[in-house]
A and B are shown apart, each in its own frame.
Chain A
Amino acid sequence: MIAQRPSISLLGTTALIFEAPGEMNLTSQQRIWALAHETQAWPEIREAVPGMNNLMLTFLRPPRGLGALAALEARLRDAWDAAVARPREGRVVELPVVYGGAGGPHMADVVAHTGLSVEQIVELHSAPLYPVYALGSHPGYCYLGGMDARLATPRRKVPVLSIPGGAVSIGGAQTGVSASAGPSGWNTIGSTSMCFFDPAKDPPAALQPGDMIRFRVEGIVR
């Protein structure tokens, strides 16, 4: 079900989430970036954190009372209506990927769900230029837009306890690359190597919203 109006919901008294309406797309994401830039300056807000066509605002000072909360939500809707999509000048980063094999343990599950062959999956996955929509999940991890809808495979019923850094995965309609080892509910189809995060650097993440990733086929292991 695709929502027609933005929705706003609470995460306790710690944060609220703003969900943009409509199908997920880059123009909406560019408006989310603009909304994040504006709301980051609001006195109630500690941090504006873009997600996939949504925005989480963590509270520095939660609005006192339901009236103040409603007023903040109204301001947020107005700010969204006024938000203009501004394309960003980003870098293009190419990542060499070995698809399948030990680094892509769930390729067979994606084949089974999509009905596509390994070759078709690799071709569809490596063709686009993927815009970085947002960072999240773990340090340096990039949420990417622009994956071909034919590759969509639901998140796994039982998440895997540990997937290594560099794992290239599909979760629902999205794709992404793990920046470090950890649990994942996504379907891992290949692996790459890249340093996505260094806390000593400023900014610490190698990629930012507005950058683009291309996956270069280094090899296919069956």
Chain B
Amino acid sequence: MIEVLSSAALATVQDLGRTGSLRWGVGTSGAMDNLALAAGNLLLGNALGAAAIEVPVFPFKVRFGEDCAFALTGADCAARLDDQPLLPWWVHQARAGQMLTLGLPQGGAQRGSRAMLCLAGGVDVPEVLGSRSTQLRGAFGGHEGRALRRGDVLRAAGAGIGCKSGFGLVPPALMLPLQQDGVAAVRVLPAAEYLAFEPVSRAAFWAGEWKITSQSDRYGYRLEGEALRPIAPMELRSHGIVPGVIQVPHSGQPIVQMRDAQPSGGYPKFGTVIEADMWRLGQAPIGSRVRFIETTWDEALAALDEVRAWLDKVARMVELHRGAPAAGR
């Protein structure tokens, strides 16, 4: 088990998301960087979608109450186990009593914004409506339906069980880079109201650098840039939306719906960030800038294939290594 030592950290328990309950008004939630979650689980030999702790605010400290293997993926945050510096994107072994500290994300312009702390066997919280993700609006799921607080104790389903540790992965940001003119980029498919915006606005959307303002969180990223103007005012009927949908309210400043997005909305939809690139946006820090690349249906599916292929390769290589007898020295 681990004890949370940090307060006001906004850390939540997340898995790959809660599907099948949109019809009840329950959004999917889930890890902002689903690739980091999956990779951390693969390093530990966990099920791909086992629950983990998503850490968006640093420093973050926990103490291990028992021996437990863990993996740290996502943002490289100069982590230490007691006073030992840890390699990022790596699986480690903690002993009972040791303290894990995540510091500030490093890497300058390339730094991430969210770390995933994966535990052997996954974080052991009850499944609600088929998922262990935290449903913040509905106050259920994850750990008591809320962000973690100092004193919270979480169980690891595989604590104490032997787990191969001491190896890691090249982060996907390095193996699957995506930039436009030196700026982090994500691909977008135009949405229903795209053509209802002024041509000048449409051009500005693709050409501009969009700043992720401080009013950005798991519900949505509020972007700052050239205001997007509709050709005529629009009042839409409420309709389903998904994470990635880029809405444009009256102000003209777009909002990208993120993992805790409501399952429905009524603002005009300019475009949708493709599912294959949501992990990139999930790691973009507040204050950073992002570019949007117009893409096609086929390219978006190819991007999904590329991500799945990376995960498959990771799974194969990790299993080969985990199954290999210990090398003689």
Q: Which residues of A are in contact with B by a Cβ distance under 8 Å?
A: 7, 9-15, 17, 19, 24, 46-56, 58, 62, 64-66, 69, 134-141, 143, 154-155, 157-159, 171-174, 179-180, 182-183, 185, 197, 199, 203-205
> How many B residues face the partner with a CB closer than 8 A?
51
Are A139 and B137 in touch, CB under 8 angstroms? yes
Indicate which residue in B25, B191, B219, B235 contacts A139 across the interface (CB closer than 8 Å): B25
Q: What is the minimal beta-carbon distance from A207 to any residue of chain B, in angstroms?
A: 10
B16 within 8 A of A: no
Are B242 and A11 in touch, CB under 8 angstroms? yes
Main secondary structure of the interface of B (DSSP, over half): loop
Interface centre among B264, B265, B298 (most CB of A within 10 A): B264
Are B138 and A52 in touch, CB under 8 angstroms? no
CA of A163 to CA of B209, assembled, Å: 33
B189 within 8 A of A: yes
Are B235 and A172 in touch, CB under 8 angstroms? yes
Chain A residues contacting B191 (CB-CB under 8 Å) are 9-11
Which residues of chain B from 269 to 300 have a CB within 8 Å of any chain A CB? 269, 272-276, 297-298, 300
Are B251 and A10 in touch, CB under 8 angstroms? no
User: Interface readout for B12-50 with A: 1 if CB under 8 Å, 0 if not?
Assistant: 000000011111111100000000000000000000000
Closest to A196 in B: B25
CA of A123 to CA of B325, assembled, Å: 78
Chain B residues contacting A24 (CB-CB under 8 Å) are 237
Smallest CB-CB A-B distances: 9 pairs: A56-B240, A136-B264, A12-B272, A9-B192, A139-B138, A51-B239, A52-B237, A205-B24, A49-B22
Q: What is the minimal beta-carbon distance from B311 to any residue of chain A, in angstroms?
A: 17
B263 within 8 A of A: yes
Chain A residues contacting B20 (CB-CB under 8 Å) are 46-47
Q: What is the minimal beta-carbon distance from B280 to any residue of chain A, in angstroms?
A: 14
Chain B residues contacting A185 (CB-CB under 8 Å) are 249, 266
Are B304 and A14 in touch, CB under 8 angstroms? no
- Given A136-B262, A137-B263, A138-B25, A15 contacting B240 (CB threshold 8 A): yes
Are B297 and A13 in touch, CB under 8 angstroms? yes
Chain B residues contacting A55 (CB-CB under 8 Å) are 240
Interchain Cβ contacts under 8 Å between A and B, 22 examples: A12-B273, A13-B297, A19-B237, A46-B20, A49-B23, A49-B264, A65-B298, A66-B298, A134-B238, A136-B25, A137-B25, A137-B265, A138-B262, A141-B25, A154-B235, A157-B250, A158-B251, A174-B237, A182-B137, A183-B219, A199-B128, A199-B141
CA of A15 to CA of B140, assembled, Å: 25
CA of A79 to CA of B135, assembled, Å: 34
Which residues of chain B from 224 to 243 have a CB within 8 Å of any chain A CB? 235, 237-243
Q: What is the minimal beta-carbon distance from A199 to any residue of chain B, in angstroms?
A: 5
A sample of 17 more A-B contacts (CB under 8 A), given A12-B272, A136-B262, A179-B25, is A7-B192, A9-B192, A10-B272, A10-B297, A11-B191, A12-B189, A13-B300, A14-B243, A17-B240, A54-B239, A56-B240, A56-B264, A58-B19, A135-B24, A157-B250, A180-B137, A204-B21
Are A139 and B242 in touch, CB under 8 angstroms? no
Q: What is the minimal beta-carbon distance from B105 to any residue of chain A, in angstroms?
A: 27
Chain B residues contacting A183 (CB-CB under 8 Å) are 219
B244 within 8 A of A: yes
- Given A50-B23, A154-B235, A12 contacting B274 (CB threshold 8 A): yes
